[in-house]
Amino acid sequence: MTEQKNDLMEKITSLAKRRGFVYPSSEIYGGFAAVYDFGPYGVELAKNIREAWWEAMVYDHDNIVGLDSAIFMHPKVWEASGHVGGFSDPLAECKECHARVRVDHLLETAGVFADEKMTEAEINALLAEHETKLKCPKCGKSNFTEAKNFNLLVQSNLGNFTGDWDKEPTYLRGETCQGIYVNFKNVLDSSRVKVPFGIAQIGKAFRNEITARQFIFRKREFEQMEMQYFVRPEEAATTYEEWRQKRFQYYIDLGIKPENLRWHEHENLVFYAKAAWDIEYNFPFGFKELEGVHNRSDYDLTQHSKFSGVDLSYRDPQTNEKYIPWIVETSVGLERTFLAVLTDAYVEEKISDTDTRIVLKFPKKLAPVQVAVFPLMKNKPELVEKAREIFTVLKKDFRCEFDDNGNVGKRYRRQDEIGTPYCVTIDFDTIGQGDSSNAEAGDKSLEGTVTVRDRDTMEQKRVKIEELKKYLR
Ligand code: ATP
């Protein structure tokens, strides 16, 4: 089973590269660990995922508004948030091959629970107790240095021209939500919202992740889609449950198979958190965190009030009551959704004794290309002209691709591998010049029709050009 799953990860990674979804960063220089680029189809899939999330959060709620805060913020933001002091993972080194390992993950492989909230001493006690069972993922030996907490914040010299900037670094944000907290008052003062309300944001985040494996699941530069919902303290628990239900349903509505989703409750809560559950997806390497849904109490606004000296409490316009709102957070990575969608869609189908096809059965809403338009032959100007005409009309309503490379069978395979739900072929019958080698030779009733081929069933149907849009919709 595990072998089959590893195999699946390799197949997905290789398809993603071969078909222009995801490339390793700076590949001609040997790559750059845990950084990846989206290719032509990847950028479309990522855009569709962002749009689906934005629609579900912002457009579907009349009390959630958007924000796009900058990647860089005042360094004090990261002190207030606790990231400068405590945003770390336990790092050890294999004494044999010098590979760096994340000790909580290593302990997990032996069924021992540990997490980043434990102290160094607690982690080292577990490491010592279970060391003989723990194998270095690179060389397989069991000989590690003591674990040390390694801070994940990425530093920079932005705005500092002194040459010793690392004494007072600025940070590339480690999470997008801090930009939401520091703009809480701005949004409140400049828009129509009243508690309860939410602020949604999509943007880049950076973390010096210790282990760079598992493809785009754990990147050092990635994108988060986060929504912070501000509520009255006494309503936080109920609101939290509502958001838990909504977020799980969101993935099912997105087209993810329900059997590949499950809940995981955090065993070790940070001191301010009142509840924390993860939605996990069944990735090729097993069930792992896709999204976190957290009840963060009044911690974030209290911390930023303290560190900035600006009162971030809220005055209820009706009751005049003043309080610091509590926050319910939903936080998901764009790339983890991307990988979940790819994994869920990947199918290998035997279509004859000797032939297998790979298909990405994306939900139609997410497919990078929705309709591919083919002239049967590229060297017949009358076919190409008609196909171009149909393409021009369809591209106003659908994401379309014009494809005239190779034979139609090859084009179907390529479109299957990028997950295109429909292929439309323009042939001689379409233009009233039925070819005598064709079974439907010269059938004038086919004039003005095209062949529409369905990705999932591979069925082909003749559809009248004027009914094509309606049919595809
Ligand atoms: P993990 O335990 O897997 O490191 P986390 O608990 O640190 O994740 P959060 O800080 O809660 O993650 O971030 C919220 C979401 O952001 C995660 O659920 C995940 O989808 C995404 N995310 C976090 N770190 C990364 C990363 N390095 N690469 C890609 N996505 C990430």
Span 279-289, pLDDT tens digits = 999 999 999 99
Distance, in Å, from the CA atom of 73 to the CA atom of 75, rounded to the nearest integer, reads 6
Which residue lies with its CA nearest to atom 8 of ligand 1? Answer: 289
Identity of the amino acid at 62: D
Residue 170 has pLDDT above 90, yes or no: yes
- What per-residue string of b and e applies to 316-335 under the rule 16 or more CB within 10 Å gives b? eeeeeeeebbbbbbbbbbbb
Confidence of residue 213 (pLDDT cuts 50, 70, 90): confident
- Which pLDDT does position 396 carry in this prediction? 97
Ligand 1 centre to CA of 49 (Å) is 17
Distance in Å, CA 97 to ligand 1 centroid? 28
In this structure, the residues whose C-beta lies within 6 A of any atom of ligand 1 are: 175, 207, 209, 218-219, 222, 224, 289-292, 331-333, 335-336
- Could you read off the pLDDT of 361-387 as tens digits, one per residue? 999 999 999 999 999 999 999 999 999
| Residue owning the nearest CA to atom 11 of ligand 1 | 292
Range 162-189 average pLDDT: 95
Identify the pLDDT of residue 271: 85
Q: What is the pLDDT of residues 3-61, one digit of tens each?
A: 566 699 999 999 999 999 999 999 999 999 999 999 999 999 999 999 999 999 999 99
Our mutation pick for probing the ligand 1 site, out of 178, 268, 331, counting the most ligand atoms within 8 A of Cβ, is: 331
**Model pTM?**
0.93
Cα 178 to averaged position of ligand 1 atoms, centre (Å): 15
Residue nearest to atom 25 of ligand 1 (CA): 218
pLDDT for the residue numbered 438 = 53
Count of alpha carbons within 13 angstroms of residue 143, beta-carbon side: 6
pLDDT at 113 (0 to 100): 84
Please compute, for residue 231, the number of CA atoms within 13 A of its CA located in the half-sphere on the CB side: 20
426 Cα to the center of ligand 1, angstroms: 46
For the chain, give the percent of residues with pLDDT over 70.
97
What's residue 436's pLDDT?
45
**Backbone CA torsion sign across 92, 215, 179, 245:** negative
Helix (H, G, I), strand (E, B) or coil at 269: coil
Give residue 404's pLDDT: 94
Pocket test residue of 224, 227, 250, 337 for ligand 1, highest count of atoms within 8 A of CB: 224
Mean pLDDT over 411-421 rounds to: 98
pLDDT > 90: percent of the chain: 86
What is the 333 CA–ligand 1 centroid distance (Å)? 6
The alpha carbon of 429 and the centre of ligand 1 are apart by a number of angstroms equal to 54
**Range with the poorest average pLDDT among 331-335, 431-435, 465-469:** 431-435
Q: Does the pLDDT at position 309 exceed 80?
A: yes
